[in-house]
Amino acid sequence: MSFFGGGASSSSNTITPAAGDKDIEVADPPADSISSISFSSAADYLAVGSWDNNVRIYEVGANGQTQGKALYSHQGPVLDVCWNKEGNKVFSGGADNAGRMFDVTTGQSQQVAQHDAPVKVVKWVDAQGGILATGSWDKTIKYWDLRTPNPVATVQLPERVYSMDVQYPLMVVGTAERHIQIFNLTNPTTAYKTIVSPLKWQTRVVSCFTSSQNSGFAIGSVEGRVAIQYIDEKDSSNNFSFKCHRKDSVPNNKDQALVYSVNDISFHPVHGTFSTCGSDGTIHFWDKDARTRLKTFDPSPGPIAATAFNRTGAIFAYAVSYDWSKGHSGMTPGHPNKLMLHACKEDEVKKRPARK
């Protein structure tokens, strides 16, 4: 571990931007594309995974000022990061086929998971003392009890894991070929339900509802669409999909559009509204129940690769970073690489009255 900042600042549930309403840029961002960001559930610490092989942990102060607190490394690009429930351990998955754990208290990192291909996703399952779930391009999910070196269970999947989210006891896994595997984590080794994504193109992200009476999830695809899916059949009439992250290539002609990938979907922890971000450099806040858009951010100078709300929903973090949507040729010199913090206003994230 190394520190890349000094001193400490007090954590706060909200930020009051010193520069008026402008979003705040995080100091000392990663040197390469940002793949994943995640806030601690205990304090305003932000973990950031990057293609420079490193995980960085920042502390966010009351005025939005940030300080780098710790850094640890993989042997390849970092593809995902998450925290445990207590907020004292960070987990990461990498292209080195490894899952690693960083203990914030001791400052030590260690390998805790191993796959036969890159570890695309890591999620903390808050059950039975805590289990780490890792999903890989080797077409498996593995569950790890951190007290033992071998997985406690391995689940074979039909394809490579692209995205995964947990809202206990619900776990949703999106794989290649548009498979969606739905697990009830009280029985974690067998999919409770398997569907094909209602979206016609590759799944980019799945994200579980928060603060919802009815369990469900959102799917984002590479073709600028989002689908809202409910778990129970009785709620299936509420399933719907919508277009987003598109630009008309010919003015006033909706049939000819430039279509961009939906890179991330983050649900607000209190209100259950959600954000989408895309390769077009835009971010939108949505209310799924009223089926309406709540806010559109000003376009950024590059794709938005990842997003996250803090534990109270008062801070929204986003990464302006190359998302590899155009492959190696799209990684041009001088591509922006920024971490930004947005102080959420209540009317941006609060639900609207549902449509009758």
Cis ω on the peptide bond leading into residue 169 (within 30° of 0)?
Answer: yes
Specify the pLDDT at position 127: 82
b/e burial code for range 247-265 (CB count within 10 A of at least 16 → b) = eeeeeeeeeeeebbbbbbb
CA-to-CA dists, residue 99 to 75, 112, 163, 257, angstroms: 11, 6, 15, 40
Q: Could you count the other beta carbons within 10 Å of the beta carbon of residue 43?
A: 17
Q: Taken in order 353, 229, 143, 324, is the CA torsion positive or negative?
A: negative
Structure tokens at 225: 């669409």
Specify the pLDDT at position 320: 94
CA-to-CA dists, residue 212 to 27, 180, 186, 197, 321, angstroms: 35, 20, 20, 21, 31
Structure tokens at 63: 């005025």
Q: Taken in order 273, 320, 345, 168, is the CA torsion positive or negative?
A: positive
Alpha helix ranges (H) inside 201-301:
none
Specify the pLDDT at position 353: 83
Question: For residues 67, 302, 205 and 197, what is the CA-based torsion angle, rounded to 10 degrees?
Answer: 170
CA-to-CA dists, residue 266 to 3, 5, 36, 71, 278, angstroms: 29, 28, 12, 24, 12
Structure tokens at 12: 């706060």
Structure tokens at 37: 């960001």
Structure tokens at 251: 């003015």
> Model's pTM, two decimal places?
0.91
Specify the pLDDT at position 245: 87
Mean pLDDT in consecutive groups of 10 residues from the start of the chain, 356 residues: 37 47 91 96 97 97 92 98 97 98 97 98 91 98 94 97 96 96 95 93 95 89 94 92 82 74 96 95 95 92 94 96 69 79 94 75
Specify the pLDDT at position 7: 38
* Cα 64 from Cα 294, distance rounded (Å): 23
* Cα 45 from Cα 82, distance rounded (Å): 11
DSSP 347: H
* Cα 172 from Cα 56, distance rounded (Å): 27
Task: Decide if 324 contacts 332 (C-beta within 8 A).
Answer: no
Structure tokens at 164: 């995964």
Specify the pLDDT at position 214: 85
CATH architecture assignment, domain 24-324+336-348: 7 Propeller (2.130)
